Amino acid sequence: MVHFSVERRSPLPLDTAWHRITCWERHAAHVPLTAITVTTPPPTGAGTRFVARTGRGPVAFDDPMEVVRWEPPAPGRSGCCLLEKRGRVVRGWARIEVGPDGAGSRVVWEGDLRVRGVPGLFGPVVARSARLLYGRVAAGLLREAPPSAGPAPPR
């Protein structure tokens, strides 16, 4: 297993940051060649399952995950979500904590990953890649504009 950890700060309020970080389908917008499907009915909570499919055609793999701990932020308490990665290619866990940071919020995303077929010798490369990928996802989710309320007005 390879450990990774990333931290991102945002001016967003705590509850907004939590909702953006835990909107699983939106993660795909920040991961190349990836689509995410939530396979359980809403709302998100412990037991929610989703699959990230990365690649194209025969050169693709599924990364199934399950939320095993779900504690949204509350007054005086950070939010925490624990995911288990249960795929044939990628296994491990990820822990996402969203807490207050002054008037904004702070996201800490850490985990342990094992990638099938990748020897331990390449652990530092996997760890660096994970930090880059999960950092990109967190930063993208925190800065993206919220979905619009409707079509743009004509020009």
pLDDT in tens, 56-69: 998 999 999 999 99
Q: What is the spatial distance between Cα 102 and Cα 70, in angstroms, rounded to a whole number? A: 24
> Which of 3.30.390.50, 3.40.50.300, 3.30.530.20, 3.40.50.2300 is the CATH number of 2-143?
3.30.530.20
Q: Give residue-wise pLDDT tens across range 16-35.
A: 999 999 999 999 999 999 99
The number of CA neighbours under 13 Å toward the Cβ of 84 is 8
Torsion sign over Cα 141, 118, 5, 37 = positive
pTM value is 0.88
Tally: H helices and E strands in the chain: 3, 7
Q: Give residue-wise pLDDT tens across range 44-59.
A: 999 999 999 999 998 9
Q: Is the pLDDT of residue 40 over 50?
A: yes
Q: Is the pLDDT of residue 151 over 50?
A: no
Q: What percent of the chain has pLDDT over 70?
A: 93
pLDDT score of 147: 54
Q: Is the pLDDT of residue 140 over 70?
A: yes
Burial of residue 90, with CB atoms counted within 10 A of its CB: 0-12 exposed, 13-18 middle, 19 or more buried: buried
Residues in the chain: 155
